[in-house]
Structure 1
Amino acid sequence: MVSPLSPGGRDRAASHTRDRTGSNRTRHRRLESLGPNLGYPHSSKIRTADNLRELRPRGGRSRWRVFYTQVGEAFVVGAIGPEASVSQRNFARAVAAAERRIKDVEAE
């Protein structure tokens, strides 16, 4: 199960996580079906984070990343942000936000 978090940390999909192409649904389905076996170029570990991975839409060709981790049986999406080469500052902000939100979920 993939559980996206809203900016407030509620267990529901935020409107900003949707797009017209449905690629977010495709990413979530791929993550649900392959789980931890989803490898590069579709997913990779965030080097600056302890237990955070990024979904890399379109095999890494998208400028956006979905930051997630596995909590029990579920994959929890903590944030969506730009890839590091687009904006290192906003990438770091999104990673920090994802870590905070996921930590809150793990504490529940």
Structure 2
Amino acid sequence: MDRLALRDAVSSHGDAVRIALSFAEDEMTISLADHSNAATTLPAVCHEDLPHRIGFDPAVLAPALEASVGPDILLEISAVDRPVVVRSADQGSFTTLIMPAALNTSS
């Protein structure tokens, strides 16, 4: 997916404790974890075995997206409680690991 569009969508929720990424056939939706604010939907290539929703601390995800190179980014997600690989689609050797944040907490 478009790295800068995702970075901007994540950064727009920068003051939040956590955000949620939700996946559909060909799009990703970025919203506050509690759905209390407007969401941003972006085109993305999504695999069928992705979890429906995964949470992140925007203060962790945004810098990983900013530090990446090239126009496109790959998020390799295996489970909501496992590290996610942030990989540049153009520079396969550039990778960052980030840990998701639980969505079922009150803070």
TM-score (norm 2): 0.29
- Of structures 1 and 2, the one with the larger relative CO (CA 8 A, separation 6+) is 2
Higher helix proportion (structure 1 or 2): 1
